[in-house]
Amino acid sequence: MLKLPKIIGHRGACGYAPENTLESIRTAADMGVEWVELDVKLTKDSIPIIFHDDDLDRTTNGSGPVREATWEDIQQLEAGSWFADSFSGIKIPSLEETVELLIDLDMGLNLEIKPCAGREIETAEIALDMLSRYWDAHDRLLISSFSHVSLESARDLAPDWRRSLLLWHEDMPADWVELADYLDAATINISDQLATRDFIRQIAEMEKPALVYTINDPHRARILQSWGVASMFTDVPDVILEGMLQVH
């Protein structure tokens, strides 16, 4: 059984620290967050790194596609000052050092496989191979992806690790129920825009937990909780934790 917490820190605690960084993970841990969600991609030389976008421009002082940057290139980049001056100088972490930190902090992980186009199988294979060397807690690891090819690879490579089918309101596969069954998805992770009472009920009828991203409003969190949502991803874990503890 997965030990899903009520909330999962989105890209760490990215409302308070630069997303997908060790600092963001530590910030989440300091708030009492038990799990974080992070994105993994590959460098040009196939090193798995924690990074969301296909391009470097938004969150670093670099530019251009991640897939064209080597690990050596990535290590030269600065990935904090875009967020706040106090974070200047921090780096894009490798999956390896990230997993070591999570184990040290005793945190669970939802790892989203976020492949560059054409690297769906390779990203899954390399990331899961790296994880397999470190990660023992099967009940505190969830592998998710929008890429059905990546999830299929994950299923074939590491069948014992739970997988999640990610669904987004603007690009919903019509056959998502069949996909979830085919991929043997343990959870269905959906965007807030998809999270109606009926849709949550439909997932419940499949006997799978529904997880919803990205919830930053405590009132919305309480509504979703009342509908039976198992877990929510949030940029502001302290706000949502506090809001969910309030009597209503």
Asked if the structure places residue 152 within a domain, the reply is yes
Domain count, the chain: 1
Active site residue 169: no
> What pLDDT is recorded for position 244?
81
**How high is the mean pLDDT in each 10-residue block of the chain (248 residues)?**
94 98 98 98 98 98 98 98 98 98 98 97 98 95 98 96 97 95 98 98 97 98 97 98 74
CATH number of the domain enclosing 140 = 3.20.20.190
Angstrom distances, CA of residue 179 to CA of 88, 147, 148, 167, 168: 42, 11, 8, 11, 14
| CA trace torsion 9, 14, 16, 17 (10° rounding) | 120
Asked if the structure places residue 225 within a domain, the reply is yes
Asked if the structure places residue 181 within a domain, the reply is yes
Asked if the structure places residue 199 within a domain, the reply is yes
> What pLDDT is recorded for position 247?
47
CB 241 within 8 A of CB 7: yes
Burial of residue 164, with CB atoms counted within 10 A of its CB: 0-12 exposed, 13-18 middle, 19 or more buried: buried
Instruction: Please give, one letter per residue, the 3-state secondary structure of the chain.
Output: CCCCCCEEEECCCCCCCCCCCHHHHHHHHHCCCCEEEEEEEECCCCCEEECCCCECCCCCCCCCEHHHCCHHHHHHCCCCCCCCHHHCCCCCCEHHHHHHHHHHHCCEEEEEECCCCCCHHHHHHHHHHHHHCCCCCHHHEEEEECCHHHHHHHHHHCCCCEEEEEECCCCCCCCHHHHHHHCCCCEEEEEHHHCCHHHHHHHHHCCCCEEEECCCCHHHHHHHHHCCCCEEEECCHHHHHHHHHCCC
Q: Which residues contact 79 (CB under 8 A, 6 or more apart)?
A: 18, 21, 59, 60, 61, 90, 91, 92
Asked if the structure places residue 2 within a domain, the reply is no
Cis peptide bond upstream of 214, omega within 30: yes
> What pLDDT is recorded for position 1?
82
Task: Check 10, 138, 219, 248 and give the catalytic one.
Answer: 10
Asked if the structure places residue 1 within a domain, the reply is no
Question: How far is it, in rounded angstroms, from Cα 34 to Cα 27?
Answer: 12
Task: Check 52, 138, 148, 169 and give the catalytic one.
Answer: 52
Matching residue, tokens 């969150």: 59
Amino acid letter for position 159:
P
Question: How far is it, in rounded angstroms, from Cα 37 to Cα 20?
Answer: 9
Asked if the structure places residue 85 within a domain, the reply is yes
- Domain range spanning residue 215? 7-245
Asked if the structure places residue 25 within a domain, the reply is yes
Active site residue 10: yes
CB 123 within 8 A of CB 115: yes
Question: How far is it, in rounded angstroms, from Cα 41 to Cα 67?
Answer: 8
